[in-house]
Amino acid sequence: MRLKNKIAIITGAGAGIGRATALALAQQGAKIVVADWSEEQGQETVTQLKKQGTEAIFIKTDVSQAKDIEKMVETCLKEFNQIDILVNNAGIFHTSSIHETSEKDWDRVLNVNLKGVFLSSRRVIQEMLKQKKGKIINVASIAGLRGFEKSGAYCASKAGIINLTRVMALEYASQNINVNSVAPGIIKTAMTKEMLTDPATKKSFETSTPYSRLGKSEDIAEAIVYLASEESNFVNGETLVVDGGWTAK
Catalytic residue positions?
154
Closest-CA residue to 161 (of 134, 138, 127, 195):
138
Rounded to 5 degrees, what angle do the CA atoms 151, 153, 156 make? 100
Which phi-psi region, left, alpha or beta, contains residue 231 (left: φ > 0; alpha: ψ -120 to 50)? Answer: alpha
Closest-CA residue to 38 (of 65, 14, 68, 70):
14
31-36 vs 85-88, strand pairing mode: unpaired
Query: Within 10 Å of residue 188's Cβ, how many Cβ atoms?
Result: 17
Q: What are phi and psi of 118, to 5 degrees?
A: -60, -50
CA-CA distance, 53 to 30, in Å (whole number)? 11
Using a 10 angstrom Cβ sphere, with 0-12 exposed, 13-18 middle and 19 or more buried, the burial of residue 176 is middle
CA-CA distance, 182 to 137, in Å (whole number)? 7
CA-CA distance, 17 to 93, in Å (whole number)? 14
